[in-house]
Structure 1
Amino acid sequence: MNVNSGTRLAGAAAALFVAVLLAACSSPDQESTAGDRNDPALVAPPKAAPTPSVSNVPDLTLPIQAYQPTLAQRTVVENATVSLVNACMHRFGFDDALPPGRPSQPSLMSRRYGVTDPAIAERYGYHVAPGDGIETGAKPAGNGGALSRSAILVLTGDPNGQPRPGAPAPAGTYAGAAIPAGGCSGEAAAKLGGGRLFGGATTLADRIMTTGFAQAETDDRVTAVVGTWSACMKQQGYAFKTPFDAAASAKIDTPAPSTVEIKTAVADVTCKRKTNLVGVFYGVERAYQNAAIQRNIEQLNRLKAEIEQVVKAAAGALGVPVPR
């Protein structure tokens, strides 16, 4: 087995996994940026239906989520990628290169509008709480050894460990066997075709998710309720213009929240509930997303079909049912 020295596996695995899923793949809906006026994610201010006061924020959903991979879908794609990469490495006489997949997806809504749960505020302040799904430095289980230069070549298609899925391997062969284009990572990417859908690249649905929030944040209806929230906070002795300013004031890199942080977070949540800030923000954001979806429905339907195709390929590679 040729795994003695070289790049540490943890770093290589993390970089590799992203590269595997960032296979060269593009489509017209990726060409514009969120700041471009021609960006299909940007829409005119829509009408927003009144939203009642929201109590259980993590259970909320946004319309564009219907066009993004679910946690179950991400899990099967990651597991299939790890399985395919490692099987390829075995063909060349190497041990597993990637540790078992451990995808983590926070509750999208739990902190979208800041801290919103009184119980969370009283215990954690603005610190990470269970259910937030934020990594806190724990490393995935797996072989913690190092990869040799030869292993890196076979894994990435590049002796320097610069993954180039789809690109020919510079050395061409290893131990008499042809190295796949882009190494074992490129082979896995080619079999699944995940590309921009699962590897962190921005899809139209992702842009609508971020752009809709940004547009809602500056919408007159949201800025008005944020102003009311700010006035509520001022009455309790806090000078913050927005809830995000309040959260930014906390030192969340400390082991535990301070008394000041907890009191601030409790006041923050109290004012959010008094003003129905979350209900207004959520309602306006939904309206922007629905308008963007209506504008781009054909592209989004194609995107959804692409996701389902990749998930089906991943499930087939693992021999498991196709998740939804």
Structure 2
Amino acid sequence: MTTKKIFLLITLSCIALSSCSNTQDVQDKAATRIKISPLPRLYDGSRVALPLDSYFLSQDRLEKLDLALGVVANQCMSRFDASWPTRTHNENHILWNSRRYGVTSRNSAANYGYQAPLPQGISMESARRIEEAQKKRLDSVSEKTMAIYTGESRGGVRPPGVPSDGCRGEAYRALGLPGPDIDFQNAVTILQQRTWEDSRASPPVTAAAKRWSKCMKRHGYTYAEPDDALNDPRWSSHNNDKKAPSTPSGEIKAATTDVDCKRASLYAETWYGVEVQLQKKAIGQQGKTLADIKIKIEQLFKKIEMHTASLQ
């Protein structure tokens, strides 16, 4: 199978696109023509943009949310002559959807095999330093400070006047959130998970998986589908070994071959193309719900900006 442009006639049928309320499966009997062409950006570790992404807080906004929570929590902590270590802004992220279609970055495969990659711009040594700094940061917190922040203590007694869920809980309420879960995004999460599942099980993607399998077999690997390679027990036994100094060469070779075969079979392109169509359909069907979510995102971000203005 070459990487020349191909056209797939895809029938999208029995697509369940649900929100949080009871809905019925929607059957679309109309054929949708999707143009599948090589997309190098799907294999370079870049962020994979999907239509539903705009209904989530972006990574940058999530970072600012975390900073805002720290500001509000410390305003509460100051009433009890305490403070909570403030997180510094982190420019390094694991990019959204970068492994949505499995291991697709050859650079990641060449460095980590099937293991989860480190955030962009972070070396293994830097990751260790960050982990040590975070541990040191929390180790420096006294039991009393922890009780004020969380509302809990080992002895089960909160300092007088501390909210039942601590200053952390007060911070969430100040931003209009019930807790760590941004609950109004749950409907989008459900849609996103469903489009991932439905596109993965679609005939075009299963056909691409078969092309991938044949390619892998030509290189000496016997896997029916990409998940079989990812979940090979040989890799998991290494990944669970915290003392292992580096990824074994056998895993590196398998993972890089995996990526090469995905490119040759247009595996990621096919999956991405199908999922984009399903997400567009979901947006069309759930327009009112999603529009309300966008409004809530903007309302939340205004509160975030208000509390982080002093940090600019």
Q: Superposition pairs for residues 5-154 of structure 1, below 5 Å? A: 31=20, 38=22, 44=27, 47=32, 49-57=34-42, 58-94=46-82, 96-100=83-87, 105-131=93-119, 138-139=131-132, 140=134, 142=137, 144-148=139-143, 150-154=144-148
Q: Deviations over 1:58-84 (max 9, x none)?
A: 243100001000112111111010111
Q: What residue in structure 2 maps to residue 10 of structure 1?
A: none
Structure with the larger RCO, 1 or 2 (CA within 8 Å, 6+ apart): 1
Report what 1:156 is aligned to: 150
- Shift of residue 225, structure 1, vs aligned partner: 0.9
The answer for unaligned runs of 5 or more in structure 1 is: 1-28, 33-37, 163-169
SS at match of 1:240: coil
Q: Cα deviations across residues 138-183 of structure 1 (Å, max 9, x unaligned)?
A: 25363522433x5444333344599xxxxxxx86x72xxx334533
Matched, 1:209 2:192: yes
Higher helix content, 1 or 2: 2
TM-score if structure 2 supplies the norm length?
0.75
Distance 1:186 1:122 in 2: 43
1:290-312 CA-to-partner distances (Å, cap 9, x unmatched) read: 11111111111111111111111
**Residues of 2 paired with 1:313 and 1:108: CA distance?**
24
> Residue in 1 aligned with 2:276?
286
**Other-structure match for 2:177:** 194
Deviations 1:6-64 (A, max 9, x none): xxxxxxxxxxxxxxxxxxxxxxx9746xxxxx468x75468362221121122431000
Aligned to 1:220: 203
Inter-CA distance 161–302: structure 2 relative to 1 (3 Å threshold): farther
The alpha carbon displacement at 1:123 in A equals 3.6
What SS does the corresponding residue of 1:238 show, helix, strand or coil? Answer: coil
Work out the CA distance in 1 between the residues paired with 2:32 and 2:201.
15
**Which residue in the other structure is 1:14 paired with?**
none
Q: Which residue does the alignment assign to 1:11? A: none
Give 3-state SS (helix, strand or coil) of 1:50's partner. strand
Secondary structure of the corresponding residue to residue 107 of structure 1: coil
Q: Number of aligned pairs?
A: 274
| Structure 2 unmatched ranges of 5 or more | 1-17
Shift of 1:274: 1.1
Amino acid at match of 1:275: S
Deviations 1:220-241 (A, max 9, x none): 1111111111122112221112
CA distance in 2, matches of 1:287, 1:62: 10
| Conservation of the 8 A alpha-carbon contact between 1:107 and 1:133 | no
